[in-house]
């Protein structure tokens, strides 16, 4: 097997390398989340870190990697006495695939031994394998939420607690947790991001020289991996020695009260929730001091720790555009400087002239600001799907959730013990055979594709009305974000329809598109429906198992193009909701008629709010 790419040979990425090294020194920091576009060497750097971790002593034959000097008293393979045989090995690197199941992560009942020997035995999972090593989760934003919860809970407590399939097990699970993600594929929930100690954003070099050096080194590694690694071995050994020295020094580093007060002031000014941020910044500052060979935390350590630990923790709208957190942090840290530099003059034009029409289209209205968003009523798909994408919207058969029945095994599902026993009894046997095994059928929630089709024509152009419509769509976008859906947006006005947001998991992009949405012109409703049909056909080819929900936001008027009813057959079988935006004392009921043709629910705009429904 070729040698791993050397950590010391990585070009640039200073913040990422520092964050990983700090976590290697002090796993109590809570792990690292790495955000970056594809091709930015995220996985390469993480795998390289594993080669720097020191070798460890472990009890021979223990599947949970117990330390002979302090074995876990709850170890399922224990107890381990003082005379237990010892082996020395490298710290483990465990990679968790996106498609992993819960039983593979935490472990489960050993079915083979249960059926053949009649004993209740435990088969350990990846958390046990990762104990005292590094657990790497690529594309952590695509991992089901319940698995991320398991990982973060274990990383925070240093233990895994398994209660499933009649098994109750506790075992040590202390590991370095590193997750990588591409923001283009969607953001994880803020409360999950908050559980990572440090978050680093990486980008590719924006100058020719470092880009060329990256390619030069990569080509040299591909040509001779072992020889390339040997050239950097001394640098990597120096880093490994520095990690070991910093670990020993960490216990004696002092955190002065003045710097602890500085941490508290920064976290308060930055507007974080809870106290986890204060604790992580303090741990990171102590680790930085140990890494630099100091016996006491300095103001520089606090500032560097804050830059790694705080940008993802500010109390904010989860759909805010990226970059605002870092700007706010810089302002907060500047306020802690004793002599902050004065801000440069704005340099923009004085006064507040009226905004100009950017493209000058006749009849086009300036973009109206969305109104205040709210919690909308829950829009779900009918029937029960076969869950291919974990989420929180529509009912679907899943691997976890409410048990609704049993069936013959189809995969790695949890066994249904009562049904298994009944199958054995039906054979007249008092012993369970492999053919008697039954699998539990669970019903949980799935994520869907929510496609918004929004009328942006002149009939919607009254600013107050469009502001209300935008507030409704923004509220539904937030709801889709919380329920882990993919979203897309089509608008129609003037001569046709535009796919302003192809289906994506980046909900914040939808918010930006919505804010810039202008209105005006005639109403080509049929074009909007035809564009929706094309988008849904393409998505079915790309992801046939994700069920779509069409949300049509319109007053039902059509003043250009074909009759909207001619486009309805192309949407047959698509679960749809029509949000009726018709206003005024005289109402034609056109949106309601269109909803009937689509076999869709029709929700008046004024009744979209779930909060209002509960209050009514």
Q: Which residue numbers are catalytic? A: 276
Paired tokens of 594: 């269109």
Rounded distance, CA 414 to CA 109, Å? 9
Q: Count CB neighbours of 195 within 10 A.
A: 20
Rounded distance, CA 286 to CA 247, Å? 11
474 Cβ neighbours under 8 A, 6+ residues apart: 370, 373, 511, 514
Paired tokens of 499: 């796919």
Rounded distance, CA 126 to CA 150, Å? 11
CB 313 within 8 A of CB 52: no
Sign of the CA dihedral with 190 first, then 193, 198, and 199 last: negative
Rounded distance, CA 509 to CA 338, Å? 38
Buried b (16+ CB within 10 A) or exposed e, 145-171: eebbebbbebbeeebbebeebebebeb
Q: State phi, psi for 537 to the nearest 5 degrees.
A: -60, -45
Angstrom distances, CA of residue 171 to CA of 81, 119, 125, 605: 17, 20, 11, 53
Specify the residue for token string 């302002």. Answer: 331
Transcribe 177-225 into DSSP letters.
EEEEE-GGG-PPPHHHHTTSSEEEEE---SSHHHHHHHHHHHHHHHH-H
- Secondary structure of 99-165 in the HEC alphabet? CCCHHHHHEEECHHHHHHCCCCCEEECHHHHHCCCEEEECCHHHCCHHHHHHHHHHHHHCEEEEEEC
Specify the residue for token string 């060497």. Answer: 41
Cα-Cα end-to-end distance for the chain: 67
Helix intervals (H) in 319-359:
324-336
Paired tokens of 589: 């009921």
Rounded distance, CA 245 to CA 228, Å? 26
Give the helix/strand (H/E) hosting 529: helix 525-542
Give the helix/strand (H/E) hosting 442: strand 439-446
Rounded distance, CA 590 to CA 484, Å? 32
CB 525 within 8 A of CB 557: yes
Pick from 254, 190, 235, 215: which is nearest to 21 by CA? 235
Under DSSP, is residue 371 helix (H, G, I), strand (E, B) or coil? coil
Half-sphere exposure of 471 (CA within 13 A, CB side): 17
């Amino acid at each position: 097997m070729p040698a791993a790419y050397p950590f010391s040979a990585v070009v640039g990425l200073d913040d990422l390398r520092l964050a990983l090294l700090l976590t290697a020194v002090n796993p109590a920091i809570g792990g690292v989340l790495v955000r970056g576009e594809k091709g930015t060497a995220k996985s390469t750097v993480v795998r390289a870190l594993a080669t720097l971790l020191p070798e460890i002593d472990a009890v021979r034959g223990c599947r949970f990697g117990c330390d002979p000097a302090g074995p876990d008293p709850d170890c399922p393979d224990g107890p381990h006495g003082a005379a237990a045989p010892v082996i020395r090995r490298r710290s483990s690197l465990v990679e968790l695939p996106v498609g992993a199941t819960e039983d593979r992560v935490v472990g489960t009942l050993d079915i083979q031994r249960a059926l053949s020997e009649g004993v209740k035995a435990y088969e350990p999972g990846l958390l046990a394998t990762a104990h005292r090593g590094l657990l790497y989760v690529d594309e952590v934003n695509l991992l089901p939420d319940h698995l991320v919860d398991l990982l973060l809970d274990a990383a925070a407590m240093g233990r895994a607690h398994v209660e499933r399939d009649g098994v109750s097990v506790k075992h040590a699970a202390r590991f370095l947790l590193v997750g990588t993600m591409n923001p283009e594929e969607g953001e994880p929930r803020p409360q999950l991001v908050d559980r990572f100690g440090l978050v680093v954003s990486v980008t590719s070099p924006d100058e020719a020289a470092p880009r060329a050096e990256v390619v030069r080194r990569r080509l040299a590694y591909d040509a001779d991996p072992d020889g390339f690694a040997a050239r950097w071995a001394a640098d990597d050994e120096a880093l490994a020695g520095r990690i070991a020295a910093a670990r020993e020094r960490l216990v004696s580093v002092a955190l002065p009260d003045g710097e602890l007060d500085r941490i508290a002031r920064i976290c308060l000014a930055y507007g974080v929730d809870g106290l986890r941020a204060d604790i992580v910044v303090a741990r990171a500052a102590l680790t930085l001091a140990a890494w630099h060979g100091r016996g006491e935390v300095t103001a520089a350590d606090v500032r560097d720790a804050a830059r790694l630990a705080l940008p993802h923790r500010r109390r904010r709208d989860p759909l805010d555009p990226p970059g605002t957190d870092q700007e706010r942090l810089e302002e907060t840290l500047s306020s802690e400087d004793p002599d902050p530099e004065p801000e440069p003059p704005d340099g923009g034009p004085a006064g507040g002239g009226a905004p100009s029409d950017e493209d000058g289209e006749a009849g086009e209205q300036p973009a109206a600001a969305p109104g205040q968003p709210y919690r909308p009523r829950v829009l779900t798909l009918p029937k029960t799907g076969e869950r291919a994408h974990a989420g929180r919207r529509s009912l679907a058969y899943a691997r976890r959730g409410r048990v609704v029945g049993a069936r013959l095994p189809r995969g790695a599902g949890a066994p249904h013990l009562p049904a298994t026993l009944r199958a054995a009894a039906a054979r007249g046997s008092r012993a369970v055979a492999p053919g008697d095994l039954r699998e539990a059928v669970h019903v949980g929630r799935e994520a869907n594709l929510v496609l918004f089709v929004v009328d942006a024509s002149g009939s919607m152009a009254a600013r107050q009305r469009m502001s209300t419509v935008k507030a409704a769509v923004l509220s539904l976008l937030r709801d889709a974000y919380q329920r882990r859906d993919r979203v897309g947006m089509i608008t129609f006005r003037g001569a046709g329809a535009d796919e302003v947001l192809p289906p994506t998991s980046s909900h914040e992009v939808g918010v930006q598109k919505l804010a810039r949405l202008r209105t005006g012109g005639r109403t080509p409703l049929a074009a909007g429906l035809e564009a929706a049909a094309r988008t849904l056909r393409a998505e079915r080819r790309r992801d046939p198992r994700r069920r779509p929900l069409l949300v049509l936001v319109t007053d039902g008027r059509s003043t250009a193009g074909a009759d909207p009813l001619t486009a309805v057959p192309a949407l047959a079988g698509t679960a749809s909701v029509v949000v009726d935006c018709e206003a005024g004392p005289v109402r034609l009921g056109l949106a309601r008629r269109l909803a009937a043709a689509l076999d869709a629910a029709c929700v008046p705009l004024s009744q979209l709010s779930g909060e209002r429904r509960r209050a009514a």
